[in-house]
Structure 1
Amino acid sequence: MIRAVLCIFLGVLFHSLPAQQVLNLQDCRNLAIENNKKLKIAGKELEASRAQKAEAFTKYLPSIDGAGIYIRNQKEINLLEHDAYLPVGTIKADGSWGLRGDQIQIVNGKPVPKDYALLPREAMTVDARNTALLQLGLTQPVYMGGKIRAYNQLAGLSEQLSESKLEQEMQNVIQMTDEAYWQVVSLVNRKKLADKYVESLQKFTRDIEVMYTTGVTTKADVLSVKVKLNEAEMLRLRVEDGVSLSRMHLNQICGLPTDTVYTLREENMELQPDVVIPALTLEQVYARRSEVAGLELAARIYKKKEKIALSDYLPTVALTANYLTMAPSFFDGISTKMDGMWSVGIGVKAPIFHWGASRKSLRNARAQTGIMEYRLQEAKEQIELQVSQAEFKRREVAKKLEMAEHNRQRAEENLKLAEVGFREGTIPVLNVLEAQTAWLSAQSDRIDAQIEMKLCEVYLLKAYGVLGK
């Protein structure tokens, strides 16, 4: 339901984009999340793991299988080569078969039966030219050495691992979007600063040319200002190129056409106040980081694989029930009609000797579990370092931003004094150019510090594992 609402919202946002042409950071995040291919892959992997979990549960249930075969044979089956003659005798009182005296005759001095019954060859012929066999069987696992239960637990852990990967990929997409977003904001404001710098130099160039015509200043001063103006125009051109490229990059992340033009809400540097991020303990960070959750799940998965390997040592027990029908049938004489029977049974299979294969599989599973545990320890050490660096960097940039603001104020005051002094004739042209350059540098440093502070917030939230939450 939530996903459907999000899709509708994004669709409305996308179609209304050309009209309003204003995006904020959350809009860009939503577009990036909806269009990112890696996120879609992670979502499909989660669907696959859920289907695998449902499939694993079916191992508890009985399986029903059917099989059938039809064969057309060339010849019939004749049990006798020729007609047979069976001696006619008597059933005695004790139940045995024998010949009475009147049923015996002497031929060539040997007693032989007097009477015979004819057994025709055709009576012992089986028409097996059309042979059919149908079988329906049911198998119910009773004991598989704990393998089925381990497989179900393994499937459940795999589903959780897919969810952890999806969350991790989500945070990566948000971080990538935020970086591209603030890069555009930074370059747009640098473009505005460059425009203002060029305008200031153009005005100064006109003033210095007027002063030159009146003989107040020299040709060298005019050339110095024009050189500075050319440098400023080149700087503005480079910034314009950077703005275009950074917008293309953000468009690509958001799934928009690369030539889409829009305005970002923070382009006027009306930045929101710094986010108050409460400090977290390392244990709280570990509990929130999807990387730690993923490695913990991986270690548990290999623990379950140990149980699966251990189950190879144990016997397996299963109940079976079958119904078999065939033609020709031999249950009540020989018949060409379909006839069948049912049967039930229990099967037991126990490993006896396999050249130590099960033992080697168990060793392999235990080694893989150990690898995952070491990787988990390494990941926690890296996360601890990452958190410390992010916290330190944010404190450092806060100081840098404060200093940049002071420098900006001083540079503006210095530029005003330089311009006043130049008009009064007490300050030379080079000093004014130096003041303008210092003003440009101070303004650029302030923009960089503001953007860097926003990125530090992103990196710290990512280090805490709460980015986008």
Structure 2
Amino acid sequence: MNPTTSPRLWLVAPLVLLLGACAATPPEPAVKIALPASYAQAQSGWTPAQPLAAAPRGAWWSVFNDPVLAGLEAQVAQHNQSLAAQLAAYEQAQAAVSQAQAAYYPTLTAGAAATRAKAAGTGAVGNSLSASLGASWEPDLWGKVRLQVQAGQATAEASAATLQNTQLSLQSTLATSYLQLRTVDAQIALAQDTVAAYQRALQLTDNRYKAGVDTAADVAQARTQLLQAQTSLTDLGVTRVQLQNAIAVLVGQPPADFTLPAGDALPEVPAIPAGIPAQLLQRRPDLAAAQAQVAAANAQIGVAQTAWFPDLTLSAQGGSQAARIAQLFSAPSLFWSIGPQLAATLFDGGLRRAQVQSSQAAYRETVANYRQSVLTALQQVEDNLAAQRILSQEAQQQADVVQAAEVSLRLAENQYKAGTAPYLNVLTAQTTATSARNAQLTLLNRRYAASVGLIQALGGGWGTADTPAIGPLPTASAASQSR
């Protein structure tokens, strides 16, 4: 080693420590968001959510108590291709963190070469053999590597949260589609009963016409009513096939290989406790992703600021060079070098300033997006809370409508059979009763959608097996509503 090298290194060491004290740090404080103390649409009588410390986002769809739905939800996590793609994106983000962390360590290189060349002028031909080892390291003086790692980790956290949000979204879409399919099954059963009733009505009217009691117009009206009911029944088949195909894709299966038998039972509508708004920041994966993106953008500001400081590179190289292999490892053939290198950019035409300004603007963008996401989350919760509460009241009112329509239909049929009322009264009463029952099923599907939408808006299910935070509403059963 050169005897003057060591004192120079001792002179460089204090400079390195002094410059390291100026290391960049994320410049912006944590984002704070003021949230309301409670939801405006939350009912005081509902059970509050359980503490988040022991709040799994488990099988929230179990509140509908449908084993077929539970089986389908399990297939989403295993076979859905959109979820698989998002998982691969998360793995890429994790690999990017490892790449950033590699900059903490020195780089080691090795090389060997053998050449045979003819010298100009003399015409002498000679061999040249060499072997070398090298090492270089850039100390993280300004925290650039540390901030890049932090940015990568925040990006990976955002990707993990996006993965959770994608899974929750797919699970919610499946639940909504499945519950709608079951509602369509109920509508098909109602349509089949209606067709059967209209066939009996047509037969009765035709018999009365042959007996001279009714007119040909009454028969024509009864036949028209039957044909319309049959058309509606056929049309429902299109909706069911499309829903079944959508579910097949969600569970990762070709529609041609997937079937769902018709069901004869409708799940209960669950009550969803809202908890407090502040829990959204912890529960919703999309908000967690937005918050992590803010942290990543903040770290990138610090990374951009480190461009103002010089770079220090410590390097060392050693090896041997000789004309013959026997001489390659002899002392006269050995060579080595070691020393630091300090480099700084003196003028770049405003490039570094522009890069810092760009990273600061990107940070403000992520903060604004985060705040907007929180406002949107609050809106979604309020919307679905209102829908759940109002549609529950509407369901009770619609049940009264159905009951009144059925009474009116029985009276019209009795009067018609007794010859005291025309068939037009029966036709009107039948149409009103069928419309009322269909409206009741449509309303039930809207209540399903509101329940699933509220669960998704709150970030998924919670509670434990012993103390579930979600339970069925104390209302009339869905099966009774479909009658």
TM-score range, shorter chain: 0.7 to 0.9
Which residue type is aligned with residue 176 of structure 1?
T
1:352 Cα offset (Å):
2.5
- Does residue 227 (structure 1) correspond to residue 271 (structure 2)? The answer is no
Q: What SS does the aligned partner of 2:131 have?
A: strand
**What is the aligned partner in structure 2 of residue 37 from structure 1?**
81
Distance 1:256 1:67 in 2: 53
1:23 Cα offset (Å):
6.0
| Contact 1:76/1:128 (<8 A) preserved | no
Unaligned runs of 5+ in 2: 1-65, 464-483
**What is the aligned partner in structure 2 of residue 174 from structure 1?**
171
Which residue type is aligned with residue 105 of structure 2?
L
1:338 Cα offset (Å):
8.7
**What is the aligned partner in structure 1 of residue 284 from structure 2?**
289
**What is the aligned partner in structure 1 of residue 212 from structure 2?**
215
Distance 2:330 2:450 in 1: 86
Q: Residue 466 of structure 1 is aligned with which of 440, 455, 460? A: 460
| TM-score after normalising by structure 1 | 0.78
- In structure 2, the CA distance between the partners of 1:335 and 1:425, relative to structure 1 (3 Å rule), is closer
Distance 1:180 1:62 in 2: 55
Q: What SS does the aligned partner of 1:436 have?
A: helix
Which residue type is aligned with residue 434 of structure 1?
T
| Contact 1:288/1:465 (<8 A) preserved | yes
1:263 Cα offset (Å):
2.5
Distance 2:243 2:329 in 1: 85
- Does residue 139 (structure 1) correspond to residue 133 (structure 2)? The answer is no
**What is the aligned partner in structure 1 of residue 3 from structure 2?**
none
- Does residue 69 (structure 1) correspond to residue 113 (structure 2)? The answer is yes
| Contact 2:412/2:429 (<8 A) preserved | yes
Give 4+ residue runs of structure 1 displaced > 4 Å after superposition: 334-338
Which residue type is aligned with residue 390 of structure 1?
N
| Contact 2:402/2:436 (<8 A) preserved | yes
Distance 2:243 2:93 in 1: 37
**What is the aligned partner in structure 1 of residue 335 from structure 2?**
341
Deviation per residue, 1:105-148 (Å, 9 max, x gap): xxxxxxxxxxxxxxxxxxxx9x6621233221012332442111
Distance 1:405 1:439 in 2: 11
**What is the aligned partner in structure 1 of residue 382 from structure 2?**
388
Distance 2:140 2:441 in 1: 69
**Where do residues 55-134 of structure 1 align in structure 2 (5 Å cutoff)?**
55-75=99-119, 129-134=126-131
Distance 2:379 2:246 in 1: 30
Distance 2:387 2:100 in 1: 48
- Does residue 368 (structure 1) correspond to residue 368 (structure 2)? The answer is no
- In structure 2, the CA distance between the partners of 1:427 and 1:128, relative to structure 1 (3 Å rule), is same
Q: Residue 261 of structure 1 is aligned with which of 259, 265, 277? A: 259
- In structure 2, the CA distance between the partners of 1:420 and 1:363, relative to structure 1 (3 Å rule), is same
- In structure 2, the CA distance between the partners of 1:291 and 1:131, relative to structure 1 (3 Å rule), is same
Distance 1:298 1:323 in 2: 45
Larger radius of gyration: 1
| Contact 1:458/1:467 (<8 A) preserved | no
Deviation per residue, 1:204-236 (Å, 9 max, x gap): 111111111111211111111111111111111
User: What CA RMSD, in Å, does the superposition of the two structures yield over aligned residues?
Assistant: 2.5
Distance 2:357 2:244 in 1: 54
Q: Residue 248 of structure 2 is aligned with which of 248, 251, 274? A: 251
**What is the aligned partner in structure 1 of residue 155 from structure 2?**
158
Distance 2:121 2:84 in 1: 64
Distance 1:453 1:336 in 2: 87
Which residue type is aligned with residue 359 of structure 1?
R
| Contact 1:77/1:128 (<8 A) preserved | no
| Contact 1:328/1:335 (<8 A) preserved | no
| TM-score after normalising by structure 2 | 0.76
Q: Residue 278 of structure 1 is aligned with which of 270, 273, 277? A: 273
**Where do residues 421-460 of structure 1 align in structure 2 (5 Å cutoff)?**
421-460=415-454
Distance 1:338 1:180 in 2: 81
Q: Please state which structure has a larger fraction of its residues in strand.
A: 1
**What is the aligned partner in structure 2 of residue 300 from structure 1?**
295
| Contact 1:401/1:450 (<8 A) preserved | yes
1:369 Cα offset (Å):
0.7
Which residue type is aligned with residue 300 of structure 2?
K
Q: What SS does the aligned partner of 1:249 have?
A: helix
- In structure 2, the CA distance between the partners of 1:320 and 1:223, relative to structure 1 (3 Å rule), is same
Deviation per residue, 1:177-229 (Å, 9 max, x gap): 12221221121111111110010010111111111111121111111111111
Distance 2:125 2:361 in 1: 59
| Contact 1:390/1:459 (<8 A) preserved | yes
Which residue type is aligned with residue 321 of structure 2?
M
| Contact 2:183/2:266 (<8 A) preserved | no
Distance 2:115 2:121 in 1: 14
Distance 1:37 1:134 in 2: 51
1:281 Cα offset (Å):
2.5
1:335 Cα offset (Å):
12
Which residue type is aligned with residue 169 of structure 1?
T
Q: What SS does the aligned partner of 2:377 have?
A: helix
| Contact 2:387/2:447 (<8 A) preserved | no
1:257 Cα offset (Å):
3.4
1:370 Cα offset (Å):
1.1
| Contact 1:164/1:290 (<8 A) preserved | yes
Q: What SS does the aligned partner of 2:103 have?
A: helix
Unaligned runs of 5+ in 1: 1-21, 79-124
Q: What SS does the aligned partner of 1:344 have?
A: strand
Deviation per residue, 1:6-56 (Å, 9 max, x gap): xxxxxxxxxxxxxxxx96212222223322222111101111111222222
Deviation per residue, 1:127-180 (Å, 9 max, x gap): 662123322101233244211111111121111011011011112111221222
**What is the aligned partner in structure 1 of residue 409 from structure 2?**
415
| Contact 1:145/1:316 (<8 A) preserved | no
Distance 2:165 2:133 in 1: 48
1:337 Cα offset (Å):
10
1:77 Cα offset (Å):
7.8
Distance 2:329 2:155 in 1: 56
- In structure 2, the CA distance between the partners of 1:429 and 1:338, relative to structure 1 (3 Å rule), is farther
Which residue type is aligned with residue 148 of structure 2?
Y
Residue identity over aligned pairs, in percent, reads: 21
**What is the aligned partner in structure 2 of residue 103 from structure 1?**
none
Distance 1:200 1:128 in 2: 109
**Deviates most, 189-198 or 67-76:** 67-76
Distance 1:29 1:250 in 2: 10
**What is the aligned partner in structure 2 of residue 47 from structure 1?**
91
Distance 2:139 2:217 in 1: 100
1:467 Cα offset (Å):
5.3
